[in-house]
C-alpha cells in the first residue's frame, strides 16, 4: 500500500476520498508499523486495535454512502494515557491506576472523536505527568526514535515518540511545565502549549490544576492549527476553561506577516548551562526570521531564574492536593487485607505510588503545612505574579519571544533518572510560560541525524495569541524542511 506514515491530515483525507486506500487499510498499516517498531520504542501502554478497526469501518461506510464526514476522518491519533478514554484503560502512567477503566471521556478527546479521529493507542508518560523523560513511568521507559539509547523527553514522551516514529498522524499530550514542548524538541515534532484555559482539562488526571494545559503534537503547524480549533473552547465541566471564541486557526495561517514583527530574545534563556549547539541553532533561527523581515530585540527577563523555584513549590502543592483522591477505594489498584482504614490507605499508597509521586506529595504537603505556608506557598505565589507582570511588560515592546526549549538535546536513558534535581533543572526554559499561563509553540529547529540530535525552539506569545503563533510557525515551516525529516527505523 502506497502510504507514507508521516503524511499530513489533508494528504490522508485526499487519498481516502480518492479511494487510494480505505480507512481500514490505513489502520491496518499503522497497526503493522506499531507491531514492528513499538517493541523497541515502547511508546504505547495500550494499542487499541479493536476500537481503531471499528472506527475505520464506520468511516469507510460513511465514505461509501456519501455521508457527511468529520474534520478528522481517517486520522489516527495516539493519546497520552493521562487522558480518560471511556471504556479503555487509562493509567496515567502509574501503577495506581492500573486496570482503571473510566466511565467517561475527556472533553478534548471527545471533540476529536466526534470529528471521526481514530484512536490507535494510549501512550506512555511519567506517572501522572511528573517528569521530563518518561523514566518515572510506572510501566517502562520510552526510547527516543532518533537514538534508542536516549530519552524521548517527557512527560508526554510516549506521544512524541509515537508521532516521531510515524506510528500515528497526531498525538495528545499535556504541558504543565514543558511536557509537550520538551519532548517535541527532543524528538523533532511540532507541539503547542496553549494559553491556560484554552483547552478543557475535564477528564484528564490532574497534576497541577492551575498549570495543566492539554494540547497536541503534529507533523506540521497546519495540522496542529486544525486540531487546536477542534479541541479548544469553553467547557461547562471545567470552570477554568476560557469563554473566548475560538478562531478558525487554519484559515488564519497566512495572516501574520513576519515582516515588521518584533521578536524578543530573552538573554536569560541563552546563558548558564545551555549546550553550545542548542544556543547556535536557536540563534540561527532568529537570524532566519530577521532575514525575512522581523526585527530582533534583545530583552531581559530577570525573574526567569526564579521560575524553577516557583514552579517546584507551587506545582507539588497542587499535586499533593490532587493526589489525595487516590486512596485505593475509588480508582485502580488497592492492597487488600488490612483491618483498619488508615493502614489500608498507607499500604495502598505506599505500594502503588511511584517514588516521584511520593516525593512531590511530601514536598507539597510540607510547603502547605501551617508553619511553612507563608514562607513557601504565599511567597511563591507572589513571585508567580511578578513573572506574569514581567512577561506583560516585555509584550509592550515585542510581539513574540524566541527561545530554546531544553538546555540540551536528548540525554542517555538513566543519566538523570536518580537525580531529581538535575531533572528539574532541565525545565528552566519551559516552566515560566506555565507559571504565567502563556501560549508557546514548539517547532523543529534543525535537521537531525545520528551525529546531530534534534533541537527545537519555542515561540512564546501573549495570552490567546495562538492564531498568530500558528501563522508564524506555518511560515517558518514553509522556509525550512526540518519538520519533514524523520528517523530511520
Ligand atoms: N518536567 C516537568 C515536571 O516534572 C513538567 C511536567 C509536565 O509538564 N507535565 O514537573
pLDDT in tens, 362-374: 999 999 999 999 9
pLDDT of residue 206: 98
pLDDT of residue 333: 86
Residue 450, pLDDT above cutoff 80: no
pLDDT in tens, 267-324: 999 998 899 999 999 999 999 999 999 999 999 999 999 999 999 999 999 999 999 9
Q: Which residues line ligand 1 (CB under 6 A)?
A: 129-132, 155, 174-179, 207, 315, 427
Q: Please give the Cα distance from 165 to 366 (Å, whole number).
A: 41
Q: Please give the Cα distance from 282 to 263 (Å, whole number).
A: 13
Q: Is 216 helix (H, G, I), strand (E, B) or coil?
A: strand
pLDDT of residue 423: 96
Say how many Å lie between the CA of residue 62 and the centre of ligand 1: 41
Say how many Å lie between the CA of residue 321 and the centre of ligand 1: 17
Q: Please give the Cα distance from 28 to 1 (Å, whole number).
A: 10
Please give the average per-residue pLDDT across 483-489, as a whole number: 95
pLDDT in tens, 44-89: 999 999 999 999 999 999 999 999 999 999 999 999 999 999 999 9
Atom of ligand 1 nearest to the CA of 136: 4
Domains of the chain (ranges; CATH) run 9-262+439-484 (3.90.1300.10)
Atom of ligand 1 nearest to the CA of 207: 9
Say how many Å lie between the CA of residue 177 and the centre of ligand 1: 5
Catalytic site residues? 80, 155, 179
162 Rama sector, left if φ>0, alpha if ψ -120 to 50, beta otherwise: alpha
Task: Give the CA count within 13 Å in the CB-facing half-sphere of 216.
Answer: 31
Q: Please give the Cα distance from 145 to 286 (Å, whole number).
A: 27
Helix 307-322 and helix 379-397, axial crossing angle in degrees, nearest 10: 130
Q: Please give the Cα distance from 484 to 269 (Å, whole number).
A: 27
* Model confidence, pTM: 0.98
Torsion, Cα of 174, 285, 10, 217 (10° steps): -10
Question: Mean pLDDT of all residues in the chain?
Answer: 97
CA dihedral over 348, 350, 356, 362, signed as positive or negative: positive
Say how many Å lie between the CA of residue 179 and the centre of ligand 1: 5
Atom of ligand 1 nearest to the CA of 131: 4
366 Rama sector, left if φ>0, alpha if ψ -120 to 50, beta otherwise: alpha
pLDDT in tens, 404-439: 999 999 999 999 999 999 999 999 999 999 999 999
Please give the average per-residue pLDDT across 222-232, as a whole number: 98
Amino acid at each position: 500500500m502506497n502510504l507514507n506514515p508521516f503524511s499530513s491530515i489533508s494528504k490522508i483525507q485526499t487519498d481516502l476520498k480518492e479511494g487510494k486506500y480505505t480507512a481500514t487499510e490505513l489502520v491496518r498499516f499503522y497497526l503493522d508499523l506499531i507491531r514492528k517498531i513499538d517493541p523497541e520504542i515502547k511508546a504505547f501502554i495500550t494499542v487499541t486495535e479493536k476500537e481503531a478497526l471499528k472506527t475505520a469501518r464506520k468511516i469507510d461506510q460513511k465514505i461509501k454512502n456519501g455521508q457527511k464526514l468529520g474534520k478528522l476522518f481517517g486520522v489516527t491519533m495516539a493519546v497520552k494515557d493521562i487522558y480518560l478514554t471511556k471504556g479503555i484503560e487509562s493509567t496515567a502512567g502509574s501503577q495506581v491506576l492500573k486496570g482503571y477503566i473510566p466511565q467517561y471521556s475527556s472533553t478534548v478527546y471527545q471533540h476529536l472523536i466526534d470529528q471521526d479521529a481514530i484512536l490507535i493507542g494510549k501512550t506512555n508518560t511519567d506517572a501522572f505527568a511528573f517528569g521530563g523523560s518518561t523514566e518515572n513511568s510506572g510501566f517502562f521507559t520510552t526510547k527516543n526514535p532518533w537514538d534508542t539509547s536516549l530519552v524521548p523527553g517527557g512527560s508526554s514522551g510516549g506521544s512524541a515518540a509515537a508521532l516521531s516514529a510515524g506510528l500515528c498522524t497526531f498525538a495528545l499530550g499535556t504541558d504543565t511545565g514543558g511536557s509537550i514542548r520538551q519532548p517535541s524538541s527532543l524528538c523533532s515534532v511540532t507541539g503547542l502549549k496553549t494559553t491556560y484555559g484554552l483547552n478543557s482539562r475535564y477528564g484528564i488526571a490532574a497534576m497541577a490544576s492551575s498549570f495543566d494545559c492539554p494540547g497536541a503534537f503534529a507533523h506540521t503547524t497546519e495540522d496542529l492549527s486544525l486540531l487546536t480549533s477542534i479541541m479548544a473552547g469553553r467547557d461547562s465541566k471545567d470552570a477554568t476553561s476560557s469563554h473566548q471564541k475560538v478562531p478558525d486557526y487554519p484559515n488564519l495561517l497566512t495572516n501574520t506577516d513576519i515582516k515588521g514583527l518584533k521578536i524578543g530574545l530573552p538573554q536569560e534563556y541563552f546563558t548558564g548551562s545551555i549546550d553550545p549547539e542548542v544556543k547556535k541553532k536557536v540563534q540561527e533561527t532568529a537570524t532566519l526570521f530577521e532575514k525575512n523581515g522581523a526585527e530582533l530585540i534583545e530583552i531581559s527577563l530577570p525573574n526567569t531564574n526564579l521560575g524553577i523555584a516557583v514552579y517546584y513549590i507551587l506545582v507539588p502543592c497542587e499535586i499533593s492536593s490532587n493526589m489525595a483522591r487516590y486512596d485505593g477505594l475509588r480508582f485502580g489498584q488497592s492492597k487488600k487485607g488490612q483491618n483498619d482504614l488508615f493502614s489500608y490507605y498507607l499500604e495502598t499508597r505506599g505500594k502503588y505510588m511511584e517514588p516521584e509521586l511520593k516525593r512531590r506529595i511530601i514536598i507539597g504537603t510540607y510547603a502547605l503545612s501551617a508553619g511553612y505556608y507563608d514562607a513557601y506557598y504565599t511567597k511563591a505565589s507572589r513571585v508567580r505574579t511578578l513573572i506574569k507582570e514581567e512577561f506583560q511588560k516585555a509584550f509592550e515592546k515585542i510581539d513574540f519571544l524566541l527561545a530554546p526549549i531544553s538546555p540540551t538535546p536528548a540525554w542517555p536513558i538513566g543519566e538523570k533518572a536518580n537525580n531529581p534535581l538535575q531533572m528539574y533543572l532541565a525545565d528552566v526554559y519551559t516552566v515560566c510560560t506555565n507559571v504565567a499561563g502563556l501560549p508557546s509553540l514548539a517547532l523543529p529547529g534543525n535537521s537531525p541525524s545520528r551525529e546531530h540530535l534534534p533541537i527545537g525552539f519555542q515561540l512564546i506569545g501573549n495570552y490567546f495569541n495562538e492564531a498568530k503563533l500558528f501563522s508564524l510557525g506555518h511560515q517558518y515551516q514553509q522556509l525550512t524542511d526540518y519538520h519533514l525529516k524523520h528517523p530511520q527505523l
